[in-house]
Amino acid sequence: MLGGKPLQIATRGLGTTTVFDVTGDIDLAHSPEVRKALLTEIREKKTPKVVMNMVKVRYIDSSGVASLVEALKASRDAGTRFLLVGLSPAAREVLQLSRLLRIFETFDTEEAALAS
Amino acid sequence: MRPRENHRMAGGRLLRVELPSDPGMLCVVRGAIERLTEAFGFSEPEVRSVTRAVDEALTNIMRHSYGGALNRRIEVSCLRIAKKRAANGEGFEVRLVDYGPRIDPAKLRGRKLDEIKPGGLGLHFIRQSMDIVEFKRDRGANVLRLVKFLPQEGRQGN
């Protein structure tokens, strides 16, 4: 792959919660990695609460949004929760433009998400 | 937010690049469009808007026109539309050219937003971000023209 900065996805297990710390841009080059990581955690491991920490995600495109929607649908099917933390202005804008912000549980901080 | 009077760019063509249809190039183009639109005088939300539109348009070319092939040619040109030509004030124009199959204009509408499902949002983002979105087939190429005008004096952007 040319040019692209690598996306980093670090995973932390906190009891029955898994936190994904994502760093980089979620665009067409990287959204498949995010989608795979989230769906594995939700569909296969059936983790009760999955938190996606997006504090270090500066940009997300429509393919990234599609991955988040897929993860949310999978969590609803599995009866688990999928939460978003630390949306950048760009990420918040695309979710608002697509009228999808309201369907996600969003939090400003990881502490707030974990306490919910 | 930077003052709008900061921008002093030469007219006509501002940038012209050719790139392969590799998604790894998207961040390179986003970086260039961000810097260019900042220098042009757009506000931060407007910079994000134009950058998002160009990124989504390139994504559509890579996915749909070239079917995921990584080494097909895409041309990106950025131009300044002078105030005297534009009733709305100065404009920032981006032309994207690809050599994939003819696109059916009926497929350029995007999906309705009242359903919650993944996919189909790219065109919606483009139309919401830009003032003009035009598509044409020209000498075997698909040409997408995107224009964003600088807000008139005394008007707040976006």
ipTM value? 0.87
**What are the tokens at A19?**
């936190």
Q: Which of residues 34-53 of A touch B (CB under 8 A)?
A: none
pLDDT higher than threshold 90 for residue A45: yes
Rounded Cα–Cα distance for residues B90 and B92 (Å): 7
Contacts of B23 in chain A (CB under 8 A): 1, 4, 27-29
pLDDT higher than threshold 60 for residue A72: yes
| pLDDT value of residue A3 | 47
| Better-predicted residue by pLDDT, B129 or B2 | B129
Using a CB–CB cutoff of 8 Å, tell me whether B20 touches chain A: yes
Sign of CA dihedral B130, B136, B137, B138: negative
Which candidate, B124, B41, B42, places its Cα nearest to that of A97?
A: B124
Question: Coil, strand or helix: which one is B62?
Answer: helix
| pLDDT value of residue A35 | 96
Q: Mutate which of A1, A2, A33, A60 to test chain B, going by most B C-beta atoms within 10 A?
A: A2
Using a CB–CB cutoff of 8 Å, tell me whether B32 touches chain A: no
Residue B113 is classified by DSSP as T
Span A82-89, average pLDDT? 94
Residues comprising chain A, all counted: 116
Contacts of B124 in chain A (CB under 8 A): 62, 97-98
**What are the tokens at B151?**
């807000």
Span B7-27, average pLDDT? 85
| pLDDT value of residue B18 | 97
Asked whether B112 and B59 are in contact (CB, 8 A), the reply is: no
| pLDDT value of residue B153 | 64
Which runs of consecutive H residues, i.e. helices, occur in chain B? 26-40, 44-60, 122-129
Residue A63 is classified by DSSP as H
| pLDDT value of residue A48 | 97
| pLDDT value of residue A42 | 97
Q: pLDDT tier at B119 (50, 70, 90 boundaries)?
A: low
Question: b/e map of B90-100 (b: 16 or more CB within 10 Å)?
Answer: bbbbbbbbbbb
The per-residue pLDDT for range B72-109, each reduced to its tens digit, is 999 999 999 987 665 667 899 999 999 999 987 666 66
| pLDDT value of residue B122 | 87
Residue B5 is classified by DSSP as G
Q: pLDDT tier at A41 (50, 70, 90 boundaries)?
A: very high
Residue with tokens 């429509």: A62
pLDDT higher than threshold 70 for residue B12: yes
**What are the tokens at B53?**
């539109």
Bridge partners (DSSP) of residue B80 are B12, B92
pLDDT higher than threshold 70 for residue B117: no
pLDDT higher than threshold 60 for residue A79: yes
If one counts every other C-beta atom within 10 angstroms of the C-beta of residue A108, the result is 11
| pLDDT value of residue A2 | 46
Rounded Cα–Cα distance for residues A88 and B48 (Å): 12
| pLDDT value of residue A113 | 95
Which candidate, B92, B95, B78, places its Cα nearest to that of B142?
A: B95
Count the alpha carbons within 13 Å of B39 in the hemisphere toward its beta carbon: 14
| Better-predicted residue by pLDDT, A3 or B71 | B71
Alpha carbon B100 to chain centroid, angstroms: 18
Rounded Cα–Cα distance for residues B39 and B52 (Å): 17
pTM: 0.87
If one counts every other C-beta atom within 10 angstroms of the C-beta of residue A21, the result is 19
Span B103-128, average pLDDT? 73
pLDDT higher than threshold 60 for residue B8: no
Span A44-73, average pLDDT? 94
Which chain A residue's Cα is nearest to B58? A28
Rounded Cα–Cα distance for residues A69 and A75 (Å): 10
